[in-house]
Amino acid sequence: MEQLLQSQQQYFHTGRTRDVQQRRQALQTLIDGIRRYELEIAEALRLDLGKSHTEAYATEIGIVLHEARLALKHVGKWTKARRVRTPLTHIGSKGYVIPEPYGSVLIIVPWNYPFQLAICPLIGAIAAGNTAVIKPSELAPHTSTLLKRLIQELFPPSFVTVVEGGIDTNEALLELPFNYIFFTGSTSVGRIVMQTAAKRLIPVTLELGGKSPCIVHHDADIELAARRIAFGKWTNAGQTCVAPDYIYVHRSQHDALLSRLQAIVQQFYGDAPLLSDNYPSIINDKHFTRLTSYMEGERIAYGGRHDRDSRRIEPTILTDITWESRVMQDEIFGPILPILPYEDLEEVIKAVTERPKPLALYLFSQEKAIRQQITERISFGGGCINDTLMHLATPYLPFGGVGESGMGRYHGQFSFSTFSHEKSLLVQSTWLDIPFRYPGTRHALKWLKRFMK
């Protein structure tokens, strides 16, 4: 691994990754490769997570193609040095902000969107002119192997490479002097990554998780809310970092929402979701056991059936839930949806703000004042009004967490900025040399006070 990093650093120092035409070419190579491999990518995602081709395309393949095309189109503009103003004290000089690549970056990937979460950061890393090592998740082995094959075919390992393996591999990689670490995964491993990176002061982006609330106010369009919540919760069987973790619904709409959610799940997945081709499975037995244990002793208002052989759990709704219930202690990360009623929005604001800041927040309400109240008073990574998940699918919005849900952001131009150091440069004039800064200048203080107030 040390040799691998050395070869990447050597490659970086040849300057090839910085050349804008080379960056464009690499992005085009990536796009062509993904298009060529589409069926194999979809098959790997089916084998790892039981995703349908449509879901795989919407949430993993299409989304990265869109990102890559955007980067390809704009990379020339993004890389240009930006001229900035200079203050009066700097008269005669010019200021520039010059984006420069960090060097060799390490991208650590989780299992839930094992293709998208490897390629999306890679697009930013390439556009910004870096080399990259990708460490996929060992829990999605088919996608991990496929990523290795795809990247090997497209790029020399000294530019981009995939290192497969588990925790040991990751630990070994984290000990190396990479120039940037981009980590997506759990908050607990995020802490380990940051601690290790701190030893060498390696900058990090941490894309983590947490419990993302979904608030349904009494003035919400319940039919639409139910459809969009069902989409957000049961895409990838709830194994989505920004899935609505739980619902806070105004008591007056509790029963209506519950009944609409049930009808919509039937529309989406039929009477037997466990057999539906459109409904993914749980990643492994450990998570299956963890998730089914959340149902024990709780009131299951809908769903609840599960099959250990296919590792599928029906879309399941739990009611009569409180913050003391087991399901409310950690991020659920599965198809179980607890519903909590509220009377007053203040209760919701209090409950959410006294816990770690969530990665996402969703609010269903028609009223502007309510939207303002929630978005101003609750801190969260990003979210939607009257929708779920869709904020992450636009490259024009930064995507990332805050507090325990992460630090840093990416997508679109934000990815380029994440993987670039903004070098500042002041180009001084030689025809003018204002004397106040030099010791011994007469009336220096008087002049300084005039310019610097």
Q: Pick the catalytic residue from 55, 207, 298, 331.
A: 207
- Judged by beta carbon, residue 38 or residue 138, the one nearer ligand NAD is 138
- Judged by beta carbon, residue 170 or residue 413, the one nearer ligand NAD is 170
| Shortest separation between residue 418's beta carbon and ligand NAD, angstroms | 13
- Judged by beta carbon, residue 109 or residue 132, the one nearer ligand NAD is 109
Burial tier of 41 (Cβ tally within 10 Å: 0-12, 13-18, 19+): buried
Residues in a beta bridge with 195: none
Q: In Å, how far are 105, 175, 188, 292, 298 from 322, measured between CA atoms? A: 43, 42, 24, 18, 11
- Judged by beta carbon, residue 140 or residue 261, the one nearer ligand NAD is 140
- Judged by beta carbon, residue 136 or residue 273, the one nearer ligand NAD is 136
Other residues' Cβ atoms within 10 Å of the Cβ of residue 168: 9
Q: Which residues contact 435 (CB under 8 A, 6 or more apart)?
A: 441, 444
- Judged by beta carbon, residue 213 or residue 406, the one nearer ligand NAD is 406
Q: How far apart are CA 408 and CA 355, in angstroms?
A: 20
Long-range contacts of 426-431 (CB under 8 A, 24+ apart): 426/86, 426/90, 426/93, 426/94, 426/95, 426/96, 427/93, 427/94, 427/95, 427/96, 428/90, 428/92, 428/93, 429/92, 429/93, 431/92
- What is the length of the chain? 453
Helices (H) and strands (E) in the chain, counts: 16, 18
| Shortest separation between residue 13's beta carbon and ligand NAD, angstroms | 28
| Shortest separation between residue 140's beta carbon and ligand NAD, angstroms | 8
Q: How far apart are CA 154 and CA 144, in angstroms?
A: 16
| Shortest separation between residue 331's beta carbon and ligand NAD, angstroms | 5
Contacts with ligand NAD, residue ranges (CB under 6 A)? 108-112, 117, 135, 137-138, 166-167, 170-171, 184-186, 189, 192, 207-209, 241, 331, 333, 359, 401, 406
| Shortest separation between residue 109's beta carbon and ligand NAD, angstroms | 5
The residue nearest ligand NAD at its CB is 209
Task: Judge whether 404 counts as a catalytic residue.
Answer: no
Cα angle 144-145-146, degrees, rounded to a multiple of 5: 90
Quickly list DSSP for 21-82. Answer: HHHHHHHHHHHHHHHHTHHHHHHHHHHHH---HHHHIIIIIHHHHHHHHHHHHHHHHHHSPE
| Shortest separation between residue 199's beta carbon and ligand NAD, angstroms | 14
Q: Which residues are catalytic?
A: 207
